[in-house]
Amino acid sequence: MFAKKGSLGSLFLFLLFANAAVFAGVDTQKQCDLSPSVLASSAHGSGEIERVVVQAVIDGDTLLLKGGRRIRVIGINTPELAHHEQRLQPLATQAHQRMLALLSGAGKAPRALPFAAILKVGQDGKDHYGRTLGHIFTSKGENVTTRLLAEGWGFHVAIPPNVWGADCYSYAEKIAKAQGVGVWGDSYYRLKSSEESILSGGYKRIVGTIEKLFISKKVIWVALKGGVVLKLDRRDSAFHKGAVLESILRSHGAGTLHNLPKIELQGWLIDRSTWGAVMAKKIKQGKRKRWQLNVRHHTQWQLRAAL
């Protein structure tokens, strides 16, 4: 809620940001489409371009190609469909259907599989499940991830070294966030405080107050009030650079961490109590935080503006 004094100014700034995000996102997401010259030359960036046939859409971010290759789409994490012990998450079915529709090129009513598509394999070409990591495009070269993110069917994910398109993916996500659509308008995906007594693992949006900073040669640890600690591996340091980390380090050096606004971020929350008896004991004794979130890229977090 805006304070009574200056409420019109606050509302104006919010609308200005929302409109700027939309217009900037529209221009930027086109940069993640493949140009005619790229399509013709079948080469672009550090990855490889290839024409493929999509045999099945497993969910909103996973595909099965003709020949048996499974593709985990880079740049987005969509709600999970029910499988094994995983329950159906809100909007998972809609994200799945939207992926089908975008790839089919038939608007909101997808044509029958299979679909012709274009794949750009990431610099790191495989995940730990053996799936191929890649950006997926329609047969016309339209980037599917930017469309899904702009409509709110998932969250932007940037995991080095697969950060091609991270800027336009981030802007596309801002469009949906500003408009409050999709995952940004569903209470299931609400921000959770690092101080909540009941948290769970998986992809989460977290907000918290920075409590302490621990800096070593290999890792920067950012402890939040409550049960969450952020890990910044220095091997990703080139991708951490940005206004947020600069503000944190500057405040740490000046001894003014307590003056920073709350930090908002998203990523996979990891339960460290499952790491064995030694860690579980340290957590119980209050020597370690139970929950860890790895920050891999500067688009993952932001300092909230003080209202």
Q: Which of 184, 210, 226 is the last residue of a domain?
A: 184
Q: What is the mean pLDDT of each run of 10 residues along the chain (307 residues)?
A: 40 44 53 82 60 95 96 98 88 96 76 90 94 95 96 98 96 97 97 96 97 97 98 97 96 96 97 97 97 98 79
Indicate if 43 and 145 belong to the same structural domain: yes
Rounded distance between C-alpha atoms, residue 36 and residue 42, angstroms: 10
**31: in domain:** no
Rounded distance between C-alpha atoms, residue 248 and residue 51, angstroms: 44
Angle at 194 between CA 192 and CA 199, to 5 degrees: 65
**47: in domain:** yes
Indicate if 49 and 169 belong to the same structural domain: yes
Indicate if 90 and 165 belong to the same structural domain: yes
Beta bridge partners of 139: none
The H or E element containing residue 138 is strand 132-138
**3: in domain:** no
Indicate if 207 and 149 belong to the same structural domain: no
Pairing of β 202-208 and β 192-193: parallel
CATH code of the domain containing 209 = 2.40.50
Q: Which of 184, 214, 236 is the last residue of a domain?
A: 184
DSSP track, 264-300: EEEEEEEEGGGS-HHHHHHHHTTSS-SEEEE--SGGG
Beta bridge partners of 54: 65, 115
Q: Which of 184, 204, 229 is the last residue of a domain?
A: 184
Indicate if 209 and 172 belong to the same structural domain: no
CATH code of the domain containing 45 = 2.40.50.90
Indicate if 121 and 196 belong to the same structural domain: no
By the 8 A CB rule, do 59 and 81 touch? yes
Q: What is the number of structural domains in the chain?
A: 2
**Residue-number span of the structural domain to which 115 is assigned:** 36-184
User: What's the pLDDT score for residue 269?
Assistant: 98
Indicate if 123 and 210 belong to the same structural domain: no
User: What's the pLDDT score for residue 108?
Assistant: 60
Indicate if 131 and 85 belong to the same structural domain: yes
Indicate if 47 and 145 belong to the same structural domain: yes
Q: How many CB atoms lie within 10 A of CB 118?
A: 23
Can you read off the two tokens belonging to residue 281? 């004991």
The number of residues in the chain equals 307
DSSP track, 38-67: HHHHTEETTEEEEEEEEEEEEETTEEEETT
Beta bridge partners of 224: 210
Indicate if 213 and 234 belong to the same structural domain: yes
User: What's the pLDDT score for residue 125?
Assistant: 93
**164: in domain:** yes
**215: in domain:** yes
**150: in domain:** yes
The H or E element containing residue 155 is strand 155-156
Indicate if 50 and 160 belong to the same structural domain: yes
Indicate if 163 and 195 belong to the same structural domain: no
Spell out where 103-227 has E strands: 115-126, 132-138, 155-156, 192-193, 202-208, 210-215, 219-224
**131: in domain:** yes
**228: in domain:** yes
Rounded distance between C-alpha atoms, residue 123 and residue 132, angstroms: 11
201 three-class SS: coil
